[in-house]
Structure 1
Amino acid sequence: MRDMLEAKTERIRKDIEAMAQFTASPGGGMTRFSFSGEDRKTREYITSQMEAAGLTVRRDAAGNLFGRREGKRRGAPAVMLGSHFDSVKNGGAFDGPAGVVMGLEVARVLHENGIWTNLPLEFAALVEEEGGRFGGGLYGSRAMAGLLSRESLDIFRDRDGISMARAMKESGLDPDRVGEAVRPKGSLRAFIELHIEQGPILESEGLDLGFVKTIVGITQREVEIIGRADHAGTTPMDMRCNALLAASEAALFIDRAAREAGEGTVGTIGRMEVYPGGSNIVPGKVFFTIDVRSADIERLERVVNTFGSFLKDMEKKHGVTVSVKDKLTVPPVDLCLEILGLFEEEAGKLGYSAKVMQSGAGHDAMIMASITDAGLLFVPSRGGRSHCPEEWTDYEQIKKGVDVIIGTVLALAEASS
């Protein structure tokens, strides 16, 4: 039975290119924020493809999209596979959608070959993994894991001040019912995600696939520094309360603290906004984000804690007021060794080269690992590029990943002809 099952590269290409059309920045990379018009059009496409593959489609209370294929054992836990379909601003067409397309293609292959599994299968298209619109990443999977509070939906806001709760309402969802997205204990047998590597390792080593053993921990926070806006020409240097000066010292501190922590720890200030923003005005307010990642929880916490102490000292030094908002805190995660072993077994059968590796990026699989066995498979990124318009993965490489996942899913879901 397994020898007959193979993904089709042309269908993978068609799906990726079709979804790439739904962007708010045509010609400037992929911009598809959650609960937007582009989100809606992408959902419609995914829904049509799920239905064509014989799946029963539903949207959960958080906005995640699922296609279900019942198994022979009614009421048995399901094997879920997929990824997210939102993007960063001006990103690429493969980050997330490659994993959604993996699910669509697995569903098609099983459907056209009449293969039925004992366990049910769910094919997932998850929302707001990037946090590109509201700043709180891994939203869809956190909702399923019961790690999302109703209050956070009012706190998370986009740059126009629109809360996630409001955006959900405008999309036909009830934010007061978001708790209904939580997956009941024992309802899932496993979660499998395919994702582009977003780094250079696989391509540089000439490998087809990467099997992730560990995903680094992530802490993301938003910081606001309030100083005092003054005239740039008439306010003496020793009488200023410059918010940007304080923020600049914070940026240097994060970089230094991450380097000192070592062992692959990284720290980034990726977004900074200066107010009022006039060339002849001393900055009175600065907003910025911090992102700290490490596979070692102690190193991660050390950087975050020392940064907190630094901010308190900075308030005294510069006479500013600092407020910090926690947007995401996820510890390092080890993924399921059983699934990793199945990946290796299938790759060996098919003659695909691979290695076991660590992920420096966060993925929905790290949240799903808190409620079920989870596996994450990487396909190469050309030039290691991601989160940019130049992001690219060869369609044939995605096919190889799908082929490995087909065999893995059949093993986990106890396939029978």
Structure 2
Amino acid sequence: MITNLHRIRRDIEELSKFNATPGQGLTRFSLTNEDREAREYIKSELTKLGLKVYEDPAGSIFGKRDGINNDLPVIMIGSHFDSVKNGGNFDGPAGIVMALEIMRVLEENNVKTKYPIEFVGMIEEEGGRFGGGVFGSRAMTGKVSTDQLYNNKDEAGIYMAEALRKFGFNPDEIEKAKRAPKDIKAFIELHIEQGPILETENKDIGIVDFIVGINEFKVIVRGRPDHAGTTPMDMRSDALSTASKVISKIDGYAKDASEGTVATVGILNVKPGAANIVPGEVTFTVDIRSKKGDCIRSVKNRIIKCLNEEAHSSGVEIKIIEMLDVNPVKMSDQITESLENNGKSCGFSYIKMLSGAGHDAMVMASITDVGLLFVPSKNGRSHCPEEWTDYEDLQKGIEVIYNTILDLGEEI
């Protein structure tokens, strides 16, 4: 192989050191000390290669390698470097390491491409700190407004605008992060599978041809906090009672929609949160995913209808806040074919796959051709300390994408 296994391993292990929870999985939230440490490592590695290194107002890192004709659009490669709380070392960084290693191999072999190649490392893909997710790619595609930055806050009450400014970015210039479709020829991402299929079927790589759509929203149910002992049942405005009636039906709505549709209530907060007080406010999130947009909309409409009916009968107020809404996305046929051909030429086994997880690639598809390649996850584990991908498996994926970059970049 032309890529270097030692460097790949070193990058993963170095990035894993920038962690707020050592010994308890990887926690690297956006715009934190751990973010800055990872950011400096990435920028240092890019600078060593003589690339043009810069950051956009959303906090994404770029490293541009000249092509023969720099007036042509860039071929962008990369992923994200933030994590979930107590996650693993490969979700996101695997794609960062892919892009770093490809840039190194291009440089050390003095490869000339007609099109310029650009590294990208994005933050807040997971939404672990501020919610919503895929922030860097949404900013690049013009889907982030200044108002959102002044409304989204973390658990400590720090608004994203404040965190960006403290980090050295200007939130009022977020629109300058937007990239024009004419400026990007393609975006290619490598990711761990986060599931058991590749390992179970003993395949080296998975070539994604479709990413599910995702609609994530927050529901706030406001009732009235009252004394738990002195307020009769028929005189209560219990936010939790109302929310629970709706939540209990969501599982059935997803099953009725079929087509692999799934729906998850992942966060549930109750206020005031005391055993002897009737819940006055409940906040919960809903995450709906499907390969068909109609199925997502059907489930959401049924949830909203149920919320309104329960609110009417119980006297509570309902507020819905949209966090993420992305349609199902088909990968570029040209890129998929190139990945497939290069997988064959490298002698690797592969299958074509549907991605049930969301990725920056699905957002970037709104402005350019995209490709997504999976490498195996040990025991299918992800978003946990046990997350693992063998370095040799990661190298195989990087090797395939490297050859695809030569195809798309039109090596001279």
Same fold (TM over 0.5): yes
Moved more, 19-28 or 397-406: 19-28
Partner residue in 2 for 1:252: 248
Q: Secondary structure at the match of 2:181?
A: coil
Q: Secondary structure at the match of 2:30?
A: coil
Distance of 1:303 and 1:412 partners within structure 2:
39
Moved more, 245-254 or 401-410: 245-254
| Aligned pairs for 1:38-187 within 5 A | 38-187=34-183
Structure 1 unmatched ranges of 5 or more: none
Q: Secondary structure at the match of 1:151?
A: helix
8 Å CA contact 1:192, 1:375 repeated in 2: yes
Shift of 1:398: 0.6
From 329, 332, 338, the counterpart of 2:328 = 332
| Aligned pairs for 1:394-405 within 5 A | 394-405=390-401
Structure 2 unmatched ranges of 5 or more: none
CA shift digits 1:2-35 (9 cap, x unpaired)? xxx6211221111111111111111111111111
Shift of 1:280: 2.0
Q: Secondary structure at the match of 1:57?
A: strand
Residue 165 of structure 1 aligns with an amino acid whose one-letter code is: A
| Aligned pairs for 1:398-417 within 5 A | 398-416=394-412
Q: Secondary structure at the match of 2:76?
A: strand
8 Å CA contact 1:222, 1:287 repeated in 2: yes
Shift of 1:231: 2.2
The answer to whether 1:265 aligns with 2:261 is yes
Residue 188 of structure 2 aligns with an amino acid whose one-letter code is: I
Residue 295 of structure 2 aligns with an amino acid whose one-letter code is: R
8 Å CA contact 1:223, 1:287 repeated in 2: yes
Distance of 1:60 and 1:264 partners within structure 2:
37
From 17, 42, 54, the counterpart of 1:21 = 17
From 219, 226, 247, the counterpart of 2:222 = 226
8 Å CA contact 2:180, 2:367 repeated in 1: no
Normalising by structure 1, we get a TM-score of: 0.97
Moved more, 353-362 or 147-156: 147-156
Distance of 2:247 and 2:21 partners within structure 1:
29
CA shift digits 1:67-86 (9 cap, x unpaired)? 11001112111100000011
From 372, 375, 382, the counterpart of 1:386 = 382
Distance of 2:275 and 2:386 partners within structure 1:
33
| Percent identical residues | 52
Residue 296 of structure 2 aligns with an amino acid whose one-letter code is: L
Partner residue in 2 for 1:377: 373
Distance of 2:309 and 2:71 partners within structure 1:
57
Residue 43 of structure 2 aligns with an amino acid whose one-letter code is: T
Moved more, 329-338 or 25-34: 25-34
Shift of 1:122: 0.3
Distance of 2:149 and 2:287 partners within structure 1:
21
Q: Secondary structure at the match of 1:378?
A: strand
Distance of 1:355 and 1:185 partners within structure 2:
30
8 Å CA contact 1:136, 1:156 repeated in 2: no
Q: How many positions carry a matched residue from both structures?
A: 412
Moved more, 177-186 or 201-210: 177-186
Shift of 1:256: 1.2
Residue 91 of structure 1 aligns with an amino acid whose one-letter code is: G
Moved more, 404-413 or 184-193: 184-193
Distance of 1:284 and 1:266 partners within structure 2:
29
Normalising by structure 2, we get a TM-score of: 0.98
Distance of 2:106 and 2:156 partners within structure 1:
44
Residue 17 of structure 2 aligns with an amino acid whose one-letter code is: Q
Report the aligned-residue RMSD: 1.1
